[in-house]
Amino acid sequence: MIGDILKDAEGKMRKAIEALKRDFAGTRAGRATPALLERITVDYYGTPTPINRMATITVPEPRLLVIQPWDRGQLSAVERAILKSDLGITPANDGHLIRLAVPQLTHERRQELVKSLRRKAEEERVTVRNLRREANELIEELQGEGEISEDDSFRGREQVQKLTDRMVAEVDQVLQAKEAEVLEV
């Protein structure tokens, strides 16, 4: 019973960390990466479609993204979607493909990004702690119903705390790696 609660809590905590990693991947760190475009959707014949599902995205240089839609008629729609997004990069459309030159980040912008990353990481830490609370409540519920002993309940809560500590450390590790990437000049 406690093992099931732990397994469930760990699965949910892992999902929270994966969501943080995806979110961090979409954060511009002065380097071109296709992950920058993951959240941008294009109106593709009336259907909102992610750019990576309707075009080839390549990185020929460290600061350049090249987008080549499979349907050349969608070039202007892709360009409009990028301009509307919060990416802050102006696309260059040559009639065949779109080039996105990723500008060098200023020191102030890097510091703003780090603050934003820390805020997102703290939100995930809170999520992990809330999952810990839920797991502990389930364990206490089992003890209250007489399905497990007080000792088992104590050991279960101890294991949940160890799991939480491990997951919070992983969030910190992900944050530290992304901070280093953003602050790298």
Compute how many other C-beta atoms are within 10 angstroms of the C-beta atom of residue 9.
22
| DSSP output for 3-72 | HHHHHHHHHHHHHHHHHHHHHHHTS--SS--GGGGTT-EEEETTEEEEGGGTEEEEEEETTEEEEEESSG
Highest mean pLDDT among 21-30, 83-92, 159-168: 159-168
Q: Which domains does the chain have, with CATH numbers?
A: 2-25+106-183 (1.10.132.20), 34-101 (3.30.1360.40)
Instruction: Assess whether pLDDT exceeds 80 at residue 51.
Output: yes
Compute how many other C-beta atoms are within 10 angstroms of the C-beta atom of residue 178.
23
Q: Which stretch of 36-40, 86-90, 169-173 has the lowest confidence by average pLDDT?
A: 86-90
Say how far apart CA 41 and CA 113 lie, in whole Å.
23
- Residue 30 is predicted with a pLDDT of 66
Say how far apart CA 70 and CA 53 lie, in whole Å.
9
Q: Choose between 123 and 23: higher pLDDT.
A: 123
Confidence of residue 129 (pLDDT cuts 50, 70, 90): very high
Place of tokens 């460290």: 62
Say how far apart CA 156 and CA 139 lie, in whole Å.
7
- Residue 185 is predicted with a pLDDT of 61
Q: Which amino acid is at 74?
A: Q
Across the chain, mean pLDDT equals: 88
Q: What percent of the chain has pLDDT over 70?
A: 97
Q: Give the HSE-up count for residue 87: Cα atoms under 13 Å, Cβ half-sphere.
A: 27
C-alpha Rg value of the chain to the nearest Å:
22
Tens-place pLDDT, residues 145-161? 988 898 999 999 999 99
Instruction: Assess whether pLDDT exceeds 70 at residue 39.
Output: yes
- The whole model's pTM is what? 0.69
